[in-house]
Amino acid sequence: MLLPLLLAASPVLVASFDDPEGDVAYSPPTDDTFTDGDFDLRKFAVFTEGDDVVFEVTMGAPFRRPEITQRTNTAEIQLWNNIYLQNIDIYVDTDPTSAAGFTACIPGRRVAFAEGRTWKVAVVLTPQPGPARAVIEGTLDKAAAAHVIVPENLATSGRTVIARVKTAAFGGPPQARWAYSVHVSGAQWERSFTVTDRLRGAREANAFTMPVLTIPELWAFGGAPEGSMHPRVVDVLLPAGIDQKAVLTAADDQFARVPFVSAEAQPMPSVAAQSPKKSAPAGPELQVAYVAGNMVSLSGGGADAVKQMQFGSVLDENGEVVARVVVVQVVEGGLVASVVEHGEKIHRGARVRIEAAK
């Protein structure tokens, strides 16, 4: 009986993708903890093994525990998930023909997905699964948060990290038609108490994502353009022939949109499943309740229907658009938004017309 049992438990490859070497979009942090390849995605593979879906992610450098597990705090951070420097987000589209699902990325990553595409399950590999889970549940809407899995007890072997998730979480075993989007970001170890804390008494909507600045710092990537729309994802799995720097360059008024990859050609979601662009209704009109630097809080009727990454036009007394913001956090009784352009023209009491979700 031993041989049949062993054969039954053997992993079966479902899909495998290679990613180019050395294509990280930003310059690395300057602390000597980091080395070449730490954030360079090299391979992604999906297996089935018994009742598990097994994800294997291979990077350009070995996973290792840093000698010092603290950065800005005096106390050591409890890092016990066998990865330490990276967040690796795996978005799974189990039905590429359907536009149903979720478009909001993990809080703090600053990416969206190619138009008409959604993820149905997200698997987040991170050094602090418990605290990251709390941020996700506190910022994504309940339906989306319920479909985010943050595995514990990750296994590492050299440059590869392995995560196991029960097939039931996906509604069944992997299919060849499934599509994936894999994102690498730097792992911030401590929570960042920024202006959003002062706005709403809540923590910033950031699931421990290392910042990306114009100039690299000890624990921040460098090379970002001016503004607040650039991604904090530094490497992403893309279809062959697509320029990563072009994909991870945000437009002036929206987050960068990332495509999915699949082992087989994918049909686009049916037209009937997508919202018509031209006839989409406008969102609610809110009011600026507070302004603090590059962040504003919004309040008013209909705020509970607004989602992360929706944009808003700030209006002057004549109803003319004078500035733009993007929603970064949904909190009880209102919203927190980041200024996209012309923050100097935003004042308390100004009207903000939320644009229809795309």
Q: Are residues 122 and 22 part of one domain?
A: yes
186: in domain = yes
Counting the structural domains of the chain, the total is 2
φ and ψ of 206, to 5 deg: -150, 110
Q: Are residues 302 and 208 part of one domain?
A: no
For residue 344, the enclosing domain spans 285-354
pTM score: 0.73
Q: Are residues 249 and 151 part of one domain?
A: yes
Residues 24-39 pLDDT 10s: 999 999 998 899 999 9
Q: Does the pLDDT value for residue 70 go beyond 70? A: no
Q: Are residues 265 and 161 part of one domain?
A: yes
Chain-centroid distance of CA 40 in Å reads 17
Residues 87-125 pLDDT 10s: 999 999 999 988 899 988 999 999 989 877 999 999 999
Q: What is the mean pLDDT of the chain?
A: 83
Distance between start and end Cα atoms, the chain: 55
pLDDT score of 196: 40
Please report, for the domain that includes residue 303, its CATH number. Answer: 2.40.30.20
Q: Are residues 291 and 252 part of one domain?
A: no
Residues 138-163 pLDDT 10s: 888 889 999 999 999 999 999 999 99
CB 24 within 8 A of CB 40: yes
CB 335 within 8 A of CB 300: no
CB 173 within 8 A of CB 271: no
pLDDT score of 217: 92
Domain end point (choices 241, 271, 301): 271
Beta strands, E only, the chain: 12-18, 41-49, 52-59, 86-93, 111-113, 121-125, 148-149, 155-157, 160-166, 179-186, 233-236, 256-258, 261-262, 285-292, 295-299, 311-315, 321-331, 334-341, 351-354
